Structure formats: structure tokens, C-alpha cells
Amino acid sequence: MIYANPNTQGSLTSYESRYGNYINGGWVAPVKGQYFTNVSPVTGEGFCEIPRSTEEDINLALDAAHAAKDAWAKTSVSARSNILLKIADRLEQNLEMMAVAETWDNGKAVRETLNADVPLAIDHFRYYAGCIRAQEGTMGEIDDTTVSYQFHEPLGVVGQIIPWNFPLLMAVWKIAPALVTGNCIVLKPAEQTPYSILKLVELIGDLLPPGVLNVVNGYGKEAGQALATSKRIQKIAFTGSTPVGAHILKCAAENII
């Protein structure tokens, strides 16, 4: 099947000329007012402007995540599970739209995004929605007067850095388990492929309380470095190159909790 380019007649998806960061349930301009041009591999041309965020923007997102974390952690397991199921349903209802957006952003064949990237993303939300309902604590009797209980608790606020090769799927791999276990997220997409993740939060943002999922765009040395070195996150998840991963390990080692 042949799909029309975004923002043309008959297209299934569209884009804004300029995006903000997604913070506290809304679109926020970068603090320093800087943007970079996002280029589609399909045409080799720029199609939208993306925030070139800095530490100040990361901190705004962390403020929102920390403000939301206590209420989200207290949200029942069944309620969080049901939200993930609603997200999966919303994605499934917009599968072709998201597939075209991913192809436009990343350049891979639309048959791949239609049959792998987006369906697998949908499945991950449903998988983790089911996993959390089946998770159990344990109790062990140590002696006549001592009993050991095991409880599962959220970490709080977590950071996530996403690669360019599977932008939507790699984001969902990190978003779904973090959300369902009661954590709030600050996520930085790859600077080469931010568009499909912004379309994702545009699509599902109303299903989550403000501040639970935040997306801050920008370059690794500016926004990514600020997120990886922050003492306000309890975990950092990264998929990408070995040199960058080694650098993030060094950064994270300074903030062991």
C-alpha cells in the first residue's frame, strides 16, 4: 500500500511546524528558546523544529515528575494496569497513523512499522498490564517469632534515553514497565528521531495524570547528559552505542542510591 506524505491530501498523519517538550501534561517551549530541524530520511528534508533542550528543561520535567510521583505510586495496581490497556487500545485504533509517522521519522519501510514496530509496541503495553496483575509478594517464616515479608514498591522518578533505530518500540519497552510499576518518567528521544515519540504522547497523553510521563528533546551532550547525571532520578535506562553507554554508566556511578 502507498501512503501519502504527512501534511498532504489523504495523509493519515500530520506534524506541527514546531514542537515543544511534553512536560506536566502539556507542551512547553524550551527555556532557552533554541530549536533544531528534524529531517525525514524519506525526503532528506527538514519538516519540523524540535526543542534543543538543556539542563533547565530537564529540571522542569523532573519537577513535574516529582510532583506526580506520590499520587501515581499510590494508584492501585488494577488502575495502572487498566490505563496501560487503554493505551494499547488507543494505539491499535491508530496503528496505521503511528506506522506512517514512524516511517517518516526513521526511514524504515512502512511494511516493517505496520507489521513489527507498532504491533509490538501495542503488545508490550498489554503484556506489562497483565504481568503486574499476576505479581505477588512473598512471606517467609524465619523462626517462631520472626516473619519476613516482601513488598514491591516504585522507585519514584526514572530517566530514559531512547535510540534512533526503533524509536517508538524502544520507548515503549521502557515506558510500559516503568508506568505500570508506579514510576514517573522523564524520557529523552534520540535527536535523529523525536517525531514518532511526540506523536505517541500526543495520542495517549490524556490517559495519564499530568507529570507521570514527560518527554524532553535535545542533543545527548546537552539534554541527555543532564538527565544521566541528575541526582533526582532513581534509575536510568539507556539503549544506544557502547561508548555512550559506558559514559552513562560512569555518570550513574556517581549517584548510586
15 in any annotated domain: no
Instruction: Identify whether 148 is part of a domain.
Output: no
32 assigned to some structural domain: yes
What integer pLDDT is reported at residue 257 of this predicted model? 61
Under DSSP, the state recorded for 240 is S
In a domain, 141, yes or no: no
Q: Does the residue 8 lie in any domain? A: no
Residue range(s) defining the domain that contains residue 126: 21-135+156-253
In a domain, 5, yes or no: no
| E strands present in 41-106 | 45-51
Query: Mean pLDDT in the chain?
Result: 95
In three-state secondary structure terms, 181 is: coil
**Domain holding 99: CATH number?**
3.40.605.10
For residue 1, is it within any domain?
no
What pLDDT was estimated at residue 226? 96
Task: Point out which residues pair with 237 in neighbouring strands.
Answer: 160
In a domain, 124, yes or no: yes
Report the alpha-carbon distance of residue 73 to residue 185 in Å, rounded.
12
pLDDT, one tens digit per residue, over 50-97 is 999 999 999 999 999 999 999 999 999 999 999 999 999 999 999 999
Return the amino acid letter for 244.
V
Q: How many structural domains does the chain have?
A: 1
What integer pLDDT is reported at residue 149 of this predicted model? 83
Coil vs helix vs strand at 127: helix
